[in-house]
Amino acid sequence: MLLTSRQERILCKVVDDHLRTAQPVASRSIAADPVLDCGASTVRNELALLEEYGLLAHPHVSAGRVPTDAGHRYVVDRLLNSDQPLNPPRQRLELSLIRTELDESMRATTEMLSQVTNLLAVVSAPSMNSATIRHIEVLALQPQVVLVVIITSTGSVSKMLATFERAVDQGLVSWAGEYLNERLVGLALGARMIQQRLADPSLSASERAFLERFTPALGGLASEGEDALYVEGAARLFESAQILDTTNVNELIGLLERRVALLRILRSALGASGVYVRIGHENELPAMHSLAFVATGYGMARRRLGTVSLIGPVRMDYARAIATVREAAHELSRFVEDTYAEN
């Protein structure tokens, strides 16, 4: 749909004022904009046309206009296609200070996203299927209790505890640590190669029996990591009164409870190029029909590992949301690049 410059100005004015006040926007407040340089009758005529195009709605006969999902989409498309830089977030995302485990970085990113925008922030962790084994530690905690710690290239840590019927020889524990690191470091998680590497006919019966106790820990890593989600800001979103309708609140709570559905939405964003925006009924999931979703992927140059996303009301500041997820994704990508480069 092609609008005139005046119609675009009026539509953006309605979107901005509705975002600021949460109320229908009257024609007289639009006509007061000196940039338009036209009378109230012209503004009313343009508003009627925009409503006819499906970009604005008229909730009550005497009230002003509110943007529809299509109206928000028109403005968002202008933002995404514009060469002009978006306004940066009011609060900078200082992820450069976080250079520890990936889990901490994810949590910090989610918390900062929510603080900056007052929206619900959701960050998905890199799929464990994309990670490799960095280091394995085998420790005897007690004579009969052995701990295996597995560290991946994404910084994730998995552990498994095994209790034996009799005391375990310390020499066997030391051998197992060296053997597992020699055979498995660098292999992708979930790969059949792990099982093949451990099926070594040259091992003695005691060595093979010892390793078999920890095989489930290695095989289960990939499935554990696929569902890693970090969510922050639900309470902040409700407290800021950005979602007022009870139905919308229930839909958002229901979405957070349905982890599989939320993961499906994030996977859709992961496959898109650039910033992925879905407004209201553009979302396939009925629970998202009153909400908006802004997301983008992060990772390495040729491999996306996860998504940074914001969920909130359709009446959100899309310019700030888009700029914020872009910056967060950029910082996380830098962190992940550094993490992988070390391996």
Mean per-residue pLDDT, 301-306: 75
Percentage with pLDDT > 90 across the chain: 25
- The reported pTM is 0.65
On the question of pLDDT at 130 being above 80, the answer is: no
pLDDT band at 224 (very low <50, low <70, confident <90, very high): very low
113: left (phi over 0), alpha (psi -120 to 50) or beta: alpha
pLDDT band at 108 (very low <50, low <70, confident <90, very high): confident
CA distance 83 to 103: 35
pLDDT given at position 154: 53
Mean per-residue pLDDT, 19-38: 87
Instruction: Give residue-wise pLDDT tens across range 230-278.
Output: 888 877 766 665 655 656 666 676 777 677 778 888 888 887 888 999 9
Domain ranges of the chain: 5-67, 95-126+228-341, 129-224
With CA atoms as reference, report the closest residue to 228 among 154, 312, 278: 154
Measure CA of the first residue to CA of the last residue in the chain; give whole Å.
50
pLDDT given at position 155: 54
pLDDT given at position 196: 72
On the question of pLDDT at 51 being above 70, the answer is: yes
pLDDT band at 45 (very low <50, low <70, confident <90, very high): very high
CA distance 206 to 166: 13
CA distance 266 to 261: 9
Q: Domain 129-224 belongs to what topology?
A: Enolase-like; domain 1 (3.30.390)
pLDDT given at position 189: 65
CATH number of 95-126+228-341, picked from 3.30.450.40, 2.60.120.890, 3.40.920.10, 3.20.20.70: 3.30.450.40
Q: Please tell me the CATH code under which domain 5-67 is placed.
A: 1.10.10.10
On the question of pLDDT at 129 being above 70, the answer is: no
